[in-house]
Amino acid sequence: MAATGGGLVAMVYDHSRAGSVLLGILLAGAWAAPLVALSSMAAPRRAKHLPPAPGEGTYDEWMKQARLLGRVLLYYDENPDLPPELRSSLHAARADLRDTFRAHPLQDDLERVCRRIREGALKEIKDWFGREYRRDIRELANEYEQAATAGMDPNLRLLALQSAVEKAAAMMSRSCMPRMLERERLACATDCAWLAVQAAVEGAGQVSPVDLAEMLVIEWSDFSEPWQPAHALRNAMARMEKASAAAPPAADNGAPRKFRRVRIRVRMGRKHRPRRHRNRAPSMVDVLLSFGQWLSYSVRAWMLYR
């Protein structure tokens, strides 16, 4: 590609210098566009070490941790399902981090801003993930539990368990990290599903592997800490206990439920018939809009802390 582009630029240079410069810029942009798109959709590079304890660590370690937290906040902000109050909390955390960087911070300042982000915005968004998608995960868990208690064949029961856990992990990976590449989502779902099943087997059925897979994906999405299965499992179990304690008890006083009959009129004429686009390919406008989003995300990620 470089040789072909160089040859084209050299051929145009004999006729017009300005045209060769313009052609070189266009070729470089066309080659860089897929790289920019892939790098913007890739997840932030995960931390290799745990964050330093309060009062410990060097200045460079705390600076690296603060920059990584900023990239994680930026990555969470790309979720289109976030409510306005949670999105404003993320923006406030990023503004706090940006103001700290501009004020030539000391090590104590970096420690305080990292603690505020972890105890504030990161904790809020993880709790929101657990509440928002709880109903869908519970439906998958109930389907598996009904199939397991129906006395089916052990092979079919294990296949139902595998399907439910994999669906829960895949659903949460798409919900928590919508801009992630598919191979990274697959790695996340595979690790969390396997760990959830192993933990459920060791717990002798005391925890639901489907619910545990949901909480493990939430822990996996935090790239500011290294992936430690035992540590993530403890956090997921604690999050499950907190969610079960906060869930309101089901009101069931034995009284029969009353339903109201409603008549619905549906007009299926030619004018009111809904259009079906099952296998519609993305249009050129969709492709351009997607590339514009990738480009804006890459520019924001590069200029946020420069």
In the predicted structure, residue 217 carries a pLDDT above the cut 60: yes
Nearest to 180 by CA among 79, 285, 90, 93: 79
Domain regions of the chain by residue span: 2-41, 59-132, 134-244
In the predicted structure, residue 138 carries a pLDDT above the cut 60: yes
Return the higher-pLDDT residue of 291 and 55.
55
What ranges in the chain are assigned the alpha helix state H?
2-13, 17-41, 59-77, 84-102, 107-117, 123-132, 134-149, 154-176, 182-202, 209-220, 229-246, 284-303
Q: Are 167 and 193 in contact (CB under 8 A)?
A: no
| Residues 6 or more apart in contact with residue 125 via CB below 8 angstroms | 76, 82, 86, 89, 90
Task: Identify the band that residue 247 occupies on the pLDDT scale cut at 50, 70 and 90.
Answer: low
Q: Which residue is associated with the tokens 């981090």?
A: 97
**67 to each of 18, 167, 215, how far by Cα in Å?**
41, 33, 25
DSSP state of 121: I
Q: What is the distance between the alpha carbons of residues 108 and 99, in angstroms, rounded to a whole number?
A: 15
Task: Identify the band that residue 224 occupies on the pLDDT scale cut at 50, 70 and 90.
Answer: confident
Nearest to 147 by CA among 131, 124, 163, 169: 163
Give the three-state DSSP class for 79: coil
The confidence score (pLDDT) of residue 79 equals 82
Q: Each residue of 84-137: pLDDT tens digit?
A: 999 999 999 999 999 998 888 888 899 999 999 999 889 899 888 888 888 888
The confidence score (pLDDT) of residue 92 equals 92
The amino acid at residue 28 is A
Token representation of residue 251: 């009101």
Q: What is the distance between the alpha carbons of residues 71 and 218, in angstroms, rounded to a whole number?
A: 17
The confidence score (pLDDT) of residue 248 equals 56
Q: What is the pTM of this model?
A: 0.67
Q: What is the distance between the alpha carbons of residues 196 and 185, in angstroms, rounded to a whole number?
A: 16
Please give the mean pLDDT across all residues of the chain. 77
The confidence score (pLDDT) of residue 269 equals 46
Q: Each residue of 283-297: pLDDT tens digit?
A: 677 666 666 766 676
Average pLDDT for 27-51: 76
Q: What is the distance between the alpha carbons of residues 140 and 160, in angstroms, rounded to a whole number?
A: 10
Q: What is the distance between the alpha carbons of residues 116 and 127, in angstroms, rounded to a whole number?
A: 16
The amino acid at residue 269 is G
